[in-house]
Amino acid sequence: MTPAGDTNDAMSLGPLSAGETARFFAAHRLDGIDCLSATFRTHVYPPHMHDTYVVGTIESGWEKVSALGMKGHAGPGDLVFVMPQDVHDGAPAEGGYSYRMTYPGQDFLRDLAEAVTRRPVPAAPFFRDPVVHDPEGARLFAAAHHALEAGADGLAGEELLMRAYARTLVLHAGMAPATEGDEAIPVNRIREMIEARHQEDLSLAELAATVGWSRHHLIRAFRRQVGLTPHAYLVDVRVRRAQIRLRAGTGLATTAAETGFADQAHLTRAFKARIGVPPGAYQRAVRGGRAAA
């Protein structure tokens, strides 16, 4: 069972025992970061370590965690951090847990920390607490992980995970964000690029390279100037272009393909969220009841 897009190298490892599943996949746009979604009822991790960080969240249930010489429990609304080569373990508590984890490399998080602070960061970022209660951060991280696993919209998962990681660096690793200057002109260049190439599977790296920014800088500056993230703006452009095609009588499937949506269902979700009605109902209304065949 392998979804499309970013997760085309996904590997199902379950069930491990009754009610347990574990599934690895790679975030190819983000240096191939390993990702894991799993549900464990009885599985116990022995003490072990990784060369990478471990960053994730518990979606349901409770996990017993030992890391950085501390023991505790992690549950819904918590973020979990394990430093590279730190010995840690994990075990289910109170009937088990479901969680989502990522394994970013040291260079990746250090580069992101430099983008956040706009200054050199000579040492790997340090997360002091292995478990932090941060419901907003947990929701953002889970949304990113779900988007990456679904794989239908590459820019969505890429942008969400970059935002989640940057937020954790600021709030939980003591990285003070840099102040920003006037960014209207480069942001407008990126807007023009999105408008012109909205049908394409654009990446943050490509958009950021247009103006010589980091991906993190792009997200922050674009959101500050426009009021939307680059991905949200891209979806908005696609919906507006879809309206033009629907008014002209173009069929729903063709409209979805011509405006960059993964499929008709993707178009319908985005369209209804922004316009208030599904695209078929919109087309019937604007064409006097004459929807496309």
Are 152 and 76 contained in the same domain? yes
The least confident of 24-38, 151-165, 278-292 is 278-292
Q: What confidence tens digit (pLDDT) does each residue in 53-74 have?
A: 999 999 999 999 988 888 889 9
Length of the chain (residues): 293
Number of domains in the chain: 3
Same domain, 206 and 237: no
Q: How crowded is residue 269: how many other Cβ atoms within 10 Å of its Cβ?
A: 13
pLDDT of residue 15: 56
Mean pLDDT of the 37-54 span? 93
State whether 136 and 225 are in the same domain. Answer: no
Q: DSSP secondary structure string, 187-229?
A: HHHHHHHHHHTTTS---HHHHHHTTT--HHHHHHHHHHHHSS-
* 177 belongs to a structural domain: no
End-of-domain residue from the set 172, 193, 217 = 172
Instruction: Report the CATH number at residue 108.
Output: 2.60.120.10
Spatial distance between the Cα atoms of 150 and 218, rounded to a whole number of angstroms: 24
Q: How confident is the model at residue 12 (pLDDT cuts 50, 70, 90)?
A: low
Q: Please indicate, yes or no, if residue 179 is contained in any of the structural domains.
A: no
Q: Alpha-carbon distance 93 to 105, whole Å?
A: 29
Q: What CATH number has the domain bearing residue 249?
A: 1.10.10.60
Are 28 and 95 in a shared domain? yes
Query: Could you give the CA distance from residue 248 to residue 281 in angstroms, rounded to a whole number?
Result: 14
Residue 291 lies in a domain: no
Asked if the structure places residue 282 within a domain, the reply is yes
37 and 91 housed in the same domain: yes
Residue 102 reports pLDDT greater than 90: yes
pLDDT band at 13 (very low <50, low <70, confident <90, very high): low
178 is a domain residue: no
For residue 48, is pLDDT > 50?
A: yes
- Render pLDDT for 24-41 as a digit per residue (tens, 0 to 9): 999 999 989 999 999 999
Q: In the 3-class helix/strand/coil scheme, how is 79-110 assigned residue by residue?
A: EEEECCCCCEEEEEEEEEEEEEEEECCHHHHH
Note whether 39 and 162 are same-domain residues: yes
Question: Of 172, 196, 222, which one is at a domain's C-terminal end?
Answer: 172
Query: Domain containing 197: what range?
Result: 184-231
**Predicted local confidence at residue 10, as pLDDT:** 52
Question: Do residues 32 and 162 both lie within one domain?
Answer: yes
List the beta strands (DSSP E) in 4-136.
11-12, 21-27, 33-40, 45-48, 54-67, 70-74, 78-82, 88-103, 131-133
Is 292 within the bounds of a domain? Answer: no
Residues 223 and 237 in one domain: no
Pick from 42, 35, 34: nearest CA to 63? 42
Q: Are residues 134 and 192 in the same domain?
A: no
Same domain, 18 and 155: yes
pLDDT at 158 over 90: yes
